């Protein structure tokens, strides 16, 4: 199986890649690795939706992949999804795409700019209905995500986004990855490890190393 693995930064997947032989540079921002069963093209897209959507679409248009994986960290809105937990993000939203109407927020669907079920959306969400057949995915909590340009760190804005979307986790790239995969018709999974709770910015409480190691363990199981 040929896989496209997408990460915003190399640091999020370095631990996972240490045991895999590097084959070659296969394109801009892309390096090829080999596992026992798979050819893996690693794309380090850069941070954010713009970079992720552009580089993912470029990679998916340039070669045929059997599946794509987005590996990275996320923030959690749920106490039950504590740092170190690895999740399968099965639906995502671009939470900031819309308009302010006084204190209210209108999504692009509410503004009638995009239909609720206009491809690739389903009921206003990007939904993963064609995950690759990795048994390790079934053991992960299936969660709903939001993707943002500005991660939340203000109590008032956190309360607002929870009231409006009721998300489980947030990232800066997930929806862009999912959008590209849906457009190109490639089975995919967005797998994230919780590095921190969504709260006022508190680096001392982050567990980045633990999250990266947990993510690497799950990624290895998926490829076995």
Residue 44 lies inside a defined structural domain of this protein: yes
Residue 76's domain comprises: 2-90+129-144+171-223
Query: Average pLDDT for residues 148-177, to the nearest whole number?
Result: 95
The domain spanning residue 210 has which CATH number? Answer: 3.40.50.1580
How many domains is the chain partitioned into structurally?
1
Query: Which DSSP letter does residue 141 get?
Result: P
Measured CA to CA in angstroms, residue 146 lies from 46, 125, 126, 214, 219 at distances of: 18, 9, 10, 21, 22
User: Tokens 């798979």 identify what position?
Assistant: 38
Residue 50 lies inside a defined structural domain of this protein: yes
> What would the pLDDT profile of 91-147 be if each residue is shown by its tens digit?
999 999 999 888 888 889 999 999 999 999 999 999 999 899 898 999 999 999 999
Q: What's the CA gap between 31 and 24, in Å, rounded?
A: 6
Residue 11 lies inside a defined structural domain of this protein: yes
Residue 149 lies inside a defined structural domain of this protein: no
Residue 113 lies inside a defined structural domain of this protein: no
For the chain, percent of residues with pLDDT exceeding 70: 100
Give the bridge partners for 122, in sequence order.
Answer: 125
Residue 158 lies inside a defined structural domain of this protein: no
Residue 161 lies inside a defined structural domain of this protein: no
At residue 38, the pLDDT reads 87
Whole-model pTM? 0.94
At residue 16, the pLDDT reads 85
Q: What share of the chain is helix, strand, coil (3-state, %, to 5)?
A: 30, 35, 35
Residue 117 lies inside a defined structural domain of this protein: no
């Amino acid at each position: 199986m040929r896989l496209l693995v997408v990460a915003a930064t190399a640091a999020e997947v370095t631990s996972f890649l240490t045991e895999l032989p590097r084959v070659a540079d296969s394109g801009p921002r892309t390096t090829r690795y080999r596992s026992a069963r798979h050819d893996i093209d690693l794309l380090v897209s850069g941070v954010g939706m713009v970079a992720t959507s552009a580089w993912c679409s470029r990679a998916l248009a340039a070669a045929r992949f059997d599946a794509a994986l987005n590996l990275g960290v996320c923030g959690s809105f749920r106490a039950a999804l504590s740092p170190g937990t690895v999740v399968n993000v099965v639906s995502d939203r671009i939470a900031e795409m819309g308009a302010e109407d006084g204190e209210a927020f209108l999504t692009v669907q509410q503004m009638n700019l995009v239909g609720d079920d206009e491809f690739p959306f389903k009921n206003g969400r990007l939904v993963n209905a064609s995950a690759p057949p990795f048994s390790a995915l079934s053991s992960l909590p299936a969660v709903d995500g939001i993707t943002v340009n500005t991660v939340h760190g203000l109590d008032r804005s956190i309360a607002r986004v929870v009231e409006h979307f009721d998300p489980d986790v947030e990232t800066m790239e997930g929806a862009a990855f999912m959008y590209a995969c849906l457009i190109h018709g490639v089975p995919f999974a967005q797998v994230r490890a919780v590095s921190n709770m969504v709260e006022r910015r508190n680096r001392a409480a982050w567990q980045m190393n633990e999250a990266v190691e947990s993510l690497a363990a799950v990624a290895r199981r998926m490829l076995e």
